[in-house]
Structures are given as C-alpha cells and as structure tokens.
Amino acid sequence: MRSSGNSLTGKALLEKIRSDFIGLDTTYQTVGGEQTRRIYLDSTASSLMLRPAAHITADFMNHYSNTHSKLHHSAHISTAAYDWAHERILSFVGADPDIYTCFFTGSGTTGGINRMARVFRDVHPEKDTAIISIMEHHSNDLPHRKHMKHVYHVPVDGLDENQMCISLPKLEEALRNGAGRVSYVSITAVSNVTGIINPIHDMARLAHKYGALLMVDGAQSVAHLPTKMFFPDDPDACIDALVFSGHKTYTPGSPGVVVARKDHLLAIEPEEVGGGMVDRVLEDRYQVKETFPDREEAGTPNIPGAIALATTIEILDRIGMQTLMEEEEEVLEAAINEMASIPEILVYGGTDLKACPRAASISFNIKGMDHGLVAAQLNDYFNIAVRNQCFCAHPYVKEMMSDDLEAEFGEIDFGNMSPEFMRKAGMVRASFGLYSTLEDVARLMAALRDIIQNGETYALDYELNSENDYVNTSYRVENEEIFSIVGAIDQYIGD
Ligand SMILES: Cc1ncc(COP(=O)(O)O)c(C=O)c1O
C-alpha cells in the first residue's frame, strides 16, 4: 500500500493533526457552574483517539470481512489491510520482517507480556528466573511471577544518586549472580509513574552478555519516542520482544501488540491454539502453520482495531518520532521545571532532565494534601483530568514514598492499611500526549497554585465516599445527563 507521496509530513503534518483528536473539545461543568473545556492530562492511562484513524477505519468498515474468508472482494481488501497493519508496525519499531513478526493479542500490553513470559519460559525450560525492576507496572511484574519460578527485582538508585532510575550496575550484578539461570530480563522503556526513560539498548547488551533475552514493555514509550529493535551490525543491542498497547498509542479500541523474534516463537508450539493458526486438523493430531503472524493469532482477530492502530502509526511515522519527541519534551520540561520551583510541590524522581530523561508522565504531591483531594479539586474546580493513587506500580511508588509514610504512620503493615494511610499512600500524575500544549501546562500550574492557596477552603465541601474517594457536596454532575449509551441509541433510532 503506497502513499501518493504528495501528502504533508514532519512539522507541517503535526500542526495539522495536533488538534484533530476526539475529545479535545469536550466540555464539563465545574463547581462554579461554568462550562469549560476539559484539559486531558491522563494520556499515560489511555490517550485520546486520533480522529483520522477513526474516520479511515469507519471507511474501511464498508469493506470489512473476516480475514479467514478468502475469495470475495471484501475478504481480499480486509486481508490486504490487515497484512499491511502488521508490516506497518514492524517498520515503525525498526524490526526486520525477516527476523521479527508482529502479532496482536489482548486489549493492551498485559496480554502480550503474559504471552511472551510463557514463550520465553518454554523456549528455555532449563532456566527458571526472570529479572525485572522495581520500577515496573504490575503488568510487567505479575506475569513473570506467575509464569517463572523466580523473579528478581533490580532496585532503583536512591534519591541522592540518579533519582529513581534503574541501576545498571545492579542489573549487571543480578545477571552475574544468576548466570545460567536467567531466561530473560523484562524492563519498561519508560516508567508510567515518573516518565523516566530507561537505556534499553544498554540493558539489552547486558542481558545478552549473560545469555539472557530482553523483553521491553513499550506501553509508555512507543507513542512518545523513536523505537528501534534491530541493529544488523550490533546484535547485542537488539530487543528480543517488544510489547505495547494500542489504546496508549492514540487508538482506543485497538489491541495489544507483540513484536518478537520468529526463531524464538518457532522453537515451541504457539501458546494459543484454535482456528486460523493450523494447516490441517485430524481427530488425533493437528499441524500448526509455519507462517507468521497466522500461527500466533488463533481465532478471529480485532481487525478494525489493528487497522485503526496501524493508521495512527502511519501518521505518527509521517510526522517523525524524533520530531514528536522533541515537541513533547518542550511541554514536559515546562511542567516539571515549574513544579520543581514550587516549594509546596514534591515531584517524584529526578527533575534534572539531562541526568534523568523523561517522557510523558510526572507524578507529584502537594505537601500535606491527600493525593485524591488534589485530583478531585483539579477535576471539580479546574476541569483538569489527572490520575491519582499508585498507578499499578506499588513497589516503585512505595520505594519513593515509604520514608515519608513511615515518618507519619510508623512501620507500614501492608496486610492492614487504614483508610487514612491509603489517602496518603499515592501520588497525583499529570501526563501528556502529542496534543498537550504549553497552554495546558499553564492551566495546570495555575490550578495547582490556586489549590496550594485555597485547597483547604475547597476541602470543606468534600466528604469521603465508601471507596475512600473525595466527593464534592456543593455540586453534582449527573453522568447520564452528559452522556448515556441508551440515550444515544434512542436519539439515533428516533421515535
Ligand atoms: C508501563 C506499563 N506497562 C504495562 C501497562 C499495562 O497496559 P494495558 O493496561 O494496556 O494492558 C501499563 C498501563 O498503564 C503501563 O503503563
């Protein structure tokens, strides 16, 4: 599938599409009764949908068919588009199609990591250990605990060193201690808490030096940084498997993606079996396809989701990930520099971006205020959407907060955490996407300064609900009045 070659690229394309996301103009009512535009600073959880991807996928639906069908026009068109989606992603992440395959699985990164943990376990059954880090999201921790016999968590450097980055010497020490037993290392490319960027190619070299494979959790990197998996002249720097989420890559509704070396996958029977991945099935045996990605995609895949994601990726690639990264850096740098200059704000992880580069996420607290109260006030008074709590990364958050929490609550009993403790044990996270602007940062910073000054007064209008969340009692927004699926159906169908 070729482009005419006449369309926009680079910054010109970025300027055209940066505001073309569904949800950027959404408005809600704030406490004062004003209807204002929502500022979406929760892209690390899920990013907004790139409108052209939604439109183009809706056009594609005119030709939708199951890709396991063969001889009608729609089957040809769907199969070609679905094949293109795989090829597009391989080239986006710098993976040679002769060596790597791309397949879709689950609804995000979690499905892919579970899958590849089982694959790596079975490829090297003689090795029983996985190395991960304390920084990982639970989805890049629990699958290894479940599927491998031993999991070692590499620590992060302390506050006075590299400020919560994974320690490379400690990674090497773990690999050396486990030599011969470590099947693989699985590391996030970018933390979903601090946004800290890990040197994944240096980590690949270390893993390979000790005979281990490297899996990269790309959930927070693929949409924000250039990705390159394969280096023909530097095999030790290559990534063995990369997993990421379409819904964090500006395409909610799309599947999770795995890009992995074919030789590893071919060494074992596919982890999932069913229709589409076999050549022949008899009552007493079956023959698995040798061809990729079919052998890894049992059952009917999420074809429209994959096509939507590849459409987004084509557009990101036409802009250029280096250009995108630089644009996003400007927004993140403005936010972190201003936050770090306010004594009442505690930013987690190193704030010197040269020593400790970051992408997309900043987690912080306003000193003395509960994370949930800050997040609720940002939403209710300022229409700013952020995430709070521990972001499915409890060990890392604990590492950064335990001194402060122990000073307040004494020794922490993780089997018995009080509601008061839970309201303190967490952070607020502001996260950015390619649609985030310096104006969004200015709105966030103005809101935080206001909360620092007036938050205690606003707090008088809050009570805690049964889930230990703060609820404003002075106003109520009825979700059903803003949007209801059944209401939308009634409206569509009419009388
Ligand atoms: C670093 C990281 N890894 C894995 C995941 C899990 O992704 P998903 O929920 O799409 O399965 C997330 C989600 O936030 C994440 O941030």
Q: State in Å: Cα 195 to ligand 1 middle.
A: 13
Question: For strand 35-37 and strand 27-29, is the pairing parallel, antiparallel, or unpaired?
Answer: antiparallel
**Mean pLDDT over residues 434-448, rounded?**
98
Q: Can you tell me whether residue 21 is helix, strand or coil?
A: strand
Per-residue burial over 287-305, b if 16 or more Cβ lie within 10 Å, else e, is ebbeebbbbbbbeebbbbb
By most ligand atoms within 8 Å of CB, the mutation choice from 46, 109, 222 for ligand 1 is 109
Question: Over 60: is that where the pLDDT of 321 sits?
Answer: yes
SS3 category, 319: helix
* pLDDT tens-place string over residues 277-295: 999 999 999 999 999 999 9
Ligand 1 centre distance from Cα of residue 433 (Å)? 16
Task: Quote the ligand 1 centre to 217 CA distance (angstroms).
Answer: 8
Place of tokens 């987004």: 312
Structure tokens at 269: 């029977």
- Give the residue-averaged pLDDT of 257-269: 96
Length in residues, the chain = 495
pLDDT exceeds 90 at position 1: no
| Percent of the chain's residues with pLDDT above 90 | 87
Cis before residue 155, ω within 30 degrees of 0? no
CA 76 / ligand 1 centre spacing (Å):
34
Mean predicted confidence (pLDDT) in 383-406: 93
Six-digit token pair at 60? 């594609």
37, two tokens = 């535009």
Q: Residue 358: which of 153, 135, 185 has the closest Cα?
A: 135
- Nearest CA-CA partner of 365 in 155, 158, 224, 193: 193
- Return the best residue to mutate from 222, 392, 394, 431 for the ligand 1 pocket (most ligand atoms within 8 A of CB): 392
- Atom of ligand 1 at shortest range from CA of 45: 14
Per-residue confidence at 74, pLDDT binned at 50, 70, 90? very high
CA of 130 to the centre of ligand 1 (A): 19
Q: Is 363 helix (H, G, I), strand (E, B) or coil?
A: strand
CA 158 / ligand 1 centre spacing (Å): 24
Atom of ligand 1 nearest to the CA of 256: 10
Nearest CA to ligand 1 atom 10: 108
Ligand 1 pocket mutation, candidates 188, 220, 394, criterion most atoms within 8 A of CB: 220
Please state the φ and ψ torsions of residue 17, each to the nearest 5 degrees.
-100, -10
Over residues 17-46, the pLDDT tens digits come to 999 999 999 999 999 899 999 999 999 999
Q: What is the mean pLDDT of residues 400-407?
A: 89
Q: Which atom of ligand 1 is nearest to the CA of 191?
A: 1
Residue 312 has pLDDT above 80, yes or no: yes
Q: Please, are residues 174 and 150 in contact by the beta-carbon 8 Å criterion?
A: no
Mean pLDDT of 115-124: 96
478 pLDDT tier (thresholds 50, 70, 90): confident
Q: What is the dihedral of CA 423, 372, 457, 432, to 10 degrees?
A: 150
How far is the centre of ligand 1, averaged over its atoms, from the C-alpha of 475 (Å)?
A: 33
Question: What percentage of the chain reaches a pLDDT higher than 70?
Answer: 98
Q: Give mean pLDDT, residues 309-316.
A: 98
pLDDT for 164 beyond 80: no
The confidence score (pLDDT) of residue 415 equals 75
Identify which of 436, 294, 271 has the alpha carbon closest to the alpha carbon of residue 359: 436
> Is 60 exceeded by the pLDDT of residue 304?
yes
pLDDT for residue 161 is more than 60? no
Range with lowest mean pLDDT among 93-97, 167-171, 382-386: 167-171
One-letter amino acid for residue 372 of the chain = G
Give the model's pLDDT for residue 403.
Answer: 87
DSSP letter at 216 equals E
55-318 fold: Aspartate Aminotransferase; domain 2 (3.40.640)
More confident residue, 413 or 430: 430
| pLDDT of the residue at 2 | 63
* Confidence at residue 160, expressed as pLDDT on a 0 to 100 scale: 56
In this prediction, residue 156 carries a pLDDT of 86
> Does domain 10-48+320-482 sit in CATH 3.90.1150.10?
yes
Q: Which ligand 1 atom lies nearest to the CA of residue 188? A: 1
For residue 21, report the distance from its CA to the centre of ligand 1, in Å.
Answer: 21
Q: What share of the chain is helix, strand, coil (3-state, %, to 5)?
A: 40, 20, 40
CB 154 within 8 A of CB 133: yes
Q: Are 49 and 21 in contact (CB under 8 A)?
A: yes
- 360 C-alpha vs ligand 1 centroid, how far in Å? 14
* Cα distances (Å, whole numbers) of residue 27 to 14, 95, 213, 326, 402: 24, 41, 47, 29, 38
| pLDDT given at position 436 | 98
Query: Mean pLDDT, to the nearest integer, of 307-311?
Result: 98
pTM for the model: 0.96
Is the pLDDT confidence value at 159 over 70?
Answer: no
Q: pLDDT band at residue 158, thresholds of 50, 70 and 90?
A: low
> What's the rounded mean pLDDT across residues 119-147?
97
What is residue 471's predicted lDDT score, i.e. its pLDDT? Answer: 96
pLDDT single digits (tens) 326-364: 999 999 999 999 999 999 999 999 898 988 899 999 999
- DSSP tag of 235: G
Task: Using only the alpha carbons of the chain, give its radius of gyration.
Answer: 24
Per the listing, tokens 């967490």 go with 426
| Domain positions in the chain | 10-48+320-482, 55-318
In this prediction, residue 167 has a pLDDT band, given cuts at 50, 70 and 90, of confident
φ, ψ of residue 144 in degrees (nearest 5): -75, -40
Mean pLDDT rounded to a whole number for the chain: 94
CB atoms closer than 10 angstroms to residue 230: 20
- Quote the pLDDT of residue 412: 79
- Tell me the CA–centroid distance for residue 45 and ligand 1, in Å: 8
Query: Which protein residues touch ligand 1 with a CB less than 6 Å away?
Result: 108-110, 137, 139-140, 188, 192, 217, 219-220, 245, 247
How far apart, in whole angstroms, are the C-alpha atoms of residue 254 and residue 227? 20
Using most ligand atoms within 8 A of CB, pick from 192, 222, 249, 358 the residue to mutate for ligand 1. Answer: 192
State the pLDDT confidence band at 416, using cuts at 50, 70 and 90: confident
The predicted model gives 93-118 an average pLDDT of: 97
* Closest atom of ligand 1 relative to the 112 alpha carbon: 11
